[in-house]
Structure 1
Amino acid sequence: MKKSDWLSLFAFIISIIALVLILLKTDFRTTGDAFIAIMAGFMGACATLIIGVQIYNSIDTRYTINELNKSFEEKIKALDKSIDSQLRDSRVLQNELNYELTNTKKELERAKEERKKNEFTIDAGIAQCYGLSLSEKQPFTAINSFYTAFNSAMQTNDTSLVEDCLRKLEVQLTIIEHLQSDNIFKAHMEDTKEMSFNKFNEHPYYLLIEDRCNKLQQGLGKKILAIEQYVKEKQQ
């Protein structure tokens, strides 16, 4: 029991004792003084009792309010914990979604790169086949096709495919060099003059094949110049 509760109980007991003492000492003769004394004692006891009851009710009300406040505080704390837990779960879920989204984007990028690589590989294969079919009859058309295949191969970063296309270019150059200027089919010779290997100089693999590319460029330029001189001489 709290201290205030003890005080209320003590006041109530004192009131009862005072009422009993008054009754014991009072002569019940119907005199005015006796009646006034009894009434005064009774009124004092009632006043004390009412005050005690009010004090008790006030204390009880305060206790109830305190209990309600505690209950509210506990509920608020529980709600805060629930909100914090939901926020943590939300952050965890958001992180998981971001991780999955990042991985999905990476997978898509890899798929795009793989698709592009496959497309360039197919293009290189088609160009090589076309070049092989015209290697003897239309040598300049063939070497242009091999150059197209080489260009596609460089986009794939596949060193074995690049090497294969480069060898075919070198073989085709040898074929062109051995053909007589008066007996060579000149279709696409002008296109061959526009071929340039320097555009690949920023490719990381180009440093390993730069000398071979330069020899191809020089060999083609020399053969085309010889054919043009032959044509001029023949026209004169």
Structure 2
Amino acid sequence: MTPVAIVTGASSGIGAATARRLAAEGFHVVLAARRTDRLETLLAEITTAGGRATTVACDVTSDKSVAGLAEAVGDLPGPVTLLVNNAGGARGLDQIEDADVGDWQWMYDVNVLGTLRVTKALLPTLERSGAATVVVVSSTAGLGVYEGGGGYTAAKHAQTALAGTLRLELNGRPIRVVEIDPGMVRTDEFALVRFDGDAERAAAVYAGVAEPLVADDVADCIAWCATRPHHVNIDRLVVRPLAQAAQHKVHRVS
């Protein structure tokens, strides 16, 4: 039977690219996100290319919605062998003294509690496959801090801690835990969401960077980790563009 992969946040960016790549790798991909119109477009693209996919409306900040995802997955014929916790995002670049508490709460809910809800709901199904993988898409922001990034780095540090703790707790059971930490990735929406739709501020993030990562680069990393022999666990994969030596060190050209 065709193995099943679940990708949250599949409606755009890294999630959509990962769904396409996993379908090409032979998975039946469950496309989970809030924006069902975009999921239907992606579904058509995948099936036209000969892949298999199913769409499920899912808001990772809602217990009820996540329960619906787990129920929908249970109706699929193949073993659920892969979960990619990709849903997440950033809001704002305020310093702590000016921080918007609502933005911090949203970032914690979608990045950390979203990963918790989905993983908790799907672990029994994953374990029944006998050889499963949980991927947590965190960020290099989970490995360091920078001015104005307090809310996002706090959330991503917590998500990184979740992944590491889960790996310890599942030791001896047939479930790998892989953490993917991308650096600067240019997607259509990440910076726009962070700056509340301000296209000029969003574009400035990548100004002068000749080749930032794109969503397909991260999807390639996720697929590679997920398709290693099951006894091989890539605990953490940190991936940055060549121009980014560290979170605060980026080469820019005029």
User: Shared fold by TM > 0.5?
Assistant: no
- Name the structure where helix makes up a greater proportion of residues: 1
Give the TM-score normalised by structure 1.
Answer: 0.23
Give the TM-score normalised by structure 2.
Answer: 0.22
Structure number, greater radius of gyration: 1
Q: Larger relative CO (CA 8 A, sep 6+): 1 or 2?
A: 2
